[in-house]
Amino acid sequence: MSTPVLRAEFAENFPDLCLEWQAADYPDASLLQLNEPLAAELGLDPQWLRTDAGLDFLCGRASGCYTQPVAQGYAGHQFGQFNPQLGDGRALLLGELDTPGGLVDLHLKGSGPTPFSRGADGYGARGPMLREYLISEAMHALGIPTTRVLAVIDTGRSVLRSGPERGAMIVRAASSHIRVGTFQMATVLGAEDVSAQLVEYCLQRHYPEYAGGGALALLEQVMNTQMHTVAQWMGVGFIHGVMNTDNTTISGETIDYGPCAFLDAHATDACFSSIDTTGRYRYSQQPAILGWNMARFGEVLLPLIDADPQAAIAQAQEVLSSQGSRFDAIATEMWAAKLGISGRPQAPQVVSLALDYLRREQPDHTTFFASLEDYAAEQTHPLWQAWRDCEPDPQRNNPVVIPRNHEVERALSAAVQDDWQPWDALLHALRHPFDADAAYPELLKPAAAEWTETFTTFCGT
């Protein structure tokens, strides 16, 4: 195939929000993993991507493919504290690929230092980059909006973390990398005209049916999309771990898998991130944090909502104040679907009983929903009679396979040493989360409690 040519819409439209930059030179780079299903979806030939020309394209060094790679700037609230300048410290937007489904960003992560690096080296290590590929593919297979990894590149150089580690870079695909923090950066710059342009660009790119609707329409659509995404997180027991505003995308896609984890036992206060010392982003807190992030989004949009500050506040508050009840309705329907009782008049009451049962008994989250009949046959809790009275649909769509934390760690530890058998088995199973036959026995059961008690995640990606 001919070398793809990427567009540069973000770079050309928002020069104030990005810096032209080049990826580090990796002369010994090689292709470590290629996401062939994603390549096909994007209209890219997997066989060509495996050639030297394809590798050059993936590494951001193919002449004529890119108008100009850029490091995107953004600000953000990190653990509640505002940082006015974050940005792509080890990443570059190569450009946008024009696909039948719309524009798709191709983005390097681990591509070397940029002016946003803030003293960091800008490189990536093999384990964290493989982790992002693994978890994002699992999320995609579960039907949850997510960025995805097109390729993992061995950079051929070592990076220094707790010790020397093998370097790697990912090529990430996303419907865009525009974040709440992107708008916060425009506000820091005092560039209201840029903010207004960014509002319309995001509406046209992500919510075209609301194009021309202005800042209030964008606030409402992002809030709605993010509510559905976070509800799906809750349904599969996903804990993001770092829900900063710079990780809250305008598209609603999940981004940044560094400190994430999945529930084994349904512990609502579960928090595994080494940097979340207060449990701010624990499992049960995620809906509330989304509300907080959307309030920060609303704040930076106020000048664009109405020229009268009081009128702008009133209009934004009307949208934001509805989030609690709207999220509850979305989440209740999600839980009802998992219980097989969607549309039943008594569904809200049964969902409430089920959530109370989960909090009290703390069963394995995934096994519970995959084996409801077994629990109902063995338990006397009021939930089960109420559930049976609903005549639940036997064709419930609950996963039997999730990225079990202990199995993810085992596969990554092996892959770092070039033992790909555990990785291949896990990736295959995670791409078929509703098929028990695709899994291996250890993936269908939780880790030992003593392992989970000491398990900690890190922001390695």
- Choose among 255, 206, 259, 267: nearest CA to 230: 255
The pair of three-digit structure tokens given for residue 398, joined into one six-digit string: 């609950």
Average pLDDT over residues 285-311: 98
Domain definitions of the chain by residue range: 9-174, 178-404+446-461, 405-445
Catalytic residue among 88, 105, 154, 246: 246
Of the pLDDT bands very low, low, confident and very high (cuts 50, 70, 90), residue 2 is: confident
Of the pLDDT bands very low, low, confident and very high (cuts 50, 70, 90), residue 54 is: very high
Cα distances from 240 to residues 33, 244, 339, in angstroms, run 24, 10, 24
Q: Is 389 tagged catalytic? A: no
pLDDT digits (tens, 9 = 90+) for 389-399: 999 998 888 99
Q: Is the pTM of this model over 0.85?
A: yes
The pair of three-digit structure tokens given for residue 57, joined into one six-digit string: 């394209």
**pLDDT at residue 461 greater than cutoff 70:** no
pLDDT digits (tens, 9 = 90+) for 101-156: 999 999 999 999 999 998 889 999 999 999 999 999 999 999 999 999 999 999 99
CA distance 418 to 414: 6
Cα distances from 422 to residues 151, 409, 413, 442, 452, in angstroms, run 19, 10, 9, 11, 20
Average pLDDT over residues 404-417: 98
Question: Read out DSSP for 41-93?
Answer: HTT--HHHHTSHHHHHHHTT--TTS-S--EEEP--EEETTEEES----SSEEE
CB 175 within 8 A of CB 225: no
Query: How much is the pLDDT for 397?
Result: 85
pLDDT digits (tens, 9 = 90+) for 210-243: 999 999 999 999 999 999 999 999 999 999 999 9
- Choose among 249, 248, 329, 250: nearest CA to 289: 248
- How many other β-carbons are positioned within 10 Å of the β-carbon of residue 157? 15
pLDDT digits (tens, 9 = 90+) for 193-208: 999 999 999 999 999 9
- Choose among 298, 208, 196: nearest CA to 245: 298
